[in-house]
Amino acid sequence: MAPLRILVVDDSVVIRKILSETLSSDPDIEVVATAGDGRIGLAKIAQLHPDLITLDVEMPVMDGLQALAEVRKLYASLPVIMFSTLTERGASATLDALSLGASDYVTKPSNTGSMSVAVERIKAELIPKIKALCARPAARPAMRPPLRPAPRMRPAVPRPIEIVAIGTSTGGPNALAEVVPGFAKDFPVPIVAVQHMPPLFTKMLADRLASRSRIPVEEGAADVPLAPGHAWIAPGNFHMSVKRAGLSARLSLNQDPPENSCRPAVDVLFRSVASMYGASALAIVMTGMGADGVIGSQKIREAGGHVIIQDEASSVVWGMPGLVYAAGLADGVFPLNQLAAEITRRVTESRALGSARRAADHVTL
């Protein structure tokens, strides 16, 4: 099979050289050209028809955001990975780029002190994303099984849902921006979420979601008590979990080793939710690359809770939800634009049933 054709657009000669050599070292990838600014990059897209482009955020003549806007006008489905700095300005520009239609992003290696370390980071972070975003039909069966395995037996009447836990990665910022603003201001349970992102990025993501939502959204912090109608995003470089503290539920943070090469990891959050809430937990796995969330979903199912996932058609990458589906752990599969309504329906109906059942038990007594 022919290698994936990549166009690298970056104003730094050094970065272009590192990216070109590192990407080309993989036999499945060919860097067909480089460009020093967005305008040159646009011209080379028309000439070379690459499978994917990497696009620097800050460039002269035409910067990454301007170039991205033009790319989306002309090539709506062309995968674009932004290459941004790990700074507040870089985080803001990256979130702007994702909202404009960038497929994903990678932060530039900085302060590594070693060219070899920088190269290894690019290999570990950028190459897998390129391959996931450019997945060809022959590679899809592992991600999309032809038949869904039969799920385990579910209780006829679920217990009232007391918490919603969300896990997502590639494509997640835009997915969260679709789902979280869909919750009413009186949403009756707390929401905890993991989005694979570095520090600064998660704080800025939470702030942006808060500005567009009817419920408060914050970056998670240690020992914060959980409250209904409030959402927390796990902070970059920290695992987030829930714990019991007296009569209240609180957030807990730690820097234990990464799981699934991620910190924060969805599995860590989901395991804690399963342990604390059991059958009263609802988990949602949305667009993302890799397997994070599968083991956590299994724990939630084993505890009697429920798991729903985003469908393939609306996912940027159907890795995380696809593997939950393949394991027979999904209680429902929904397009992105239906998830907020479905989550709300499940939460409100389960709580109404629980209230009715408690009332009936009281009358019986």
Residues 80 and 172 in one domain: no
Q: For position 113, what pLDDT does the model report?
A: 57
Asked which of 105, 139, 173 is the last residue of a domain, the reply is 139
Which long-range CB contacts under 8 A does 312-316 form with residues at least 24 apart? 312/144, 314/287, 315/171, 315/175, 315/286, 315/287, 315/288, 316/103, 316/104, 316/133, 316/170, 316/171, 316/174, 316/175, 316/287
Q: Is the residue at 279 inside a domain?
A: yes
**Alpha-carbon torsion angle 344, 348, 350, 355, nearest 10:** 170
Report the domain count for the chain.
2
**Sites in the chain below the pLDDT cut of 70:** 110-114, 136-158, 354-365
Residues 63 and 201 in one domain: no
Cα-Cα end-to-end distance for the chain: 71
Q: For position 157, what pLDDT does the model report?
A: 52
Q: Is the residue at 147 inside a domain?
A: no
Cβ atoms of 192 and 232 within 8 Å: the answer is yes
Q: Token digits for 336?
A: 């992105």
Q: Is the residue at 325 inside a domain?
A: yes
Catalytic residues: 169, 196, 292
**Three-state DSSP class for residue 235:** coil
**Three-state DSSP class for residue 1:** coil
Q: Is the residue at 151 inside a domain?
A: no
Residues 121 and 207 in one domain: no
Give the domain CATH number at 97.
Answer: 3.40.50.2300
Q: Is the residue at 40 inside a domain?
A: yes
Q: For position 354, what pLDDT does the model report?
A: 61
Residue at token pair 């690459």? 50
Whether residue 141 is preceded by a cis peptide bond, meaning omega within 30 degrees of 0, is no
Q: For position 142, what pLDDT does the model report?
A: 39
Q: For position 17, what pLDDT does the model report?
A: 92
Residues 63 and 204 in one domain: no
* Residue 73, H or E segment: helix 64-74
Residues 129 and 173 in one domain: no
Q: What is the pLDDT of residues 99-145, one digit of tens each?
A: 999 999 998 876 555 678 778 888 888 999 999 999 854 344 334 44
Q: Is the residue at 145 inside a domain?
A: no
| Domain hosting residue 355, numbered range | 163-359
In sequence order, which residues have a C-beta less than 8 Å from that of residue 150 and are 6 or more positions away?
328
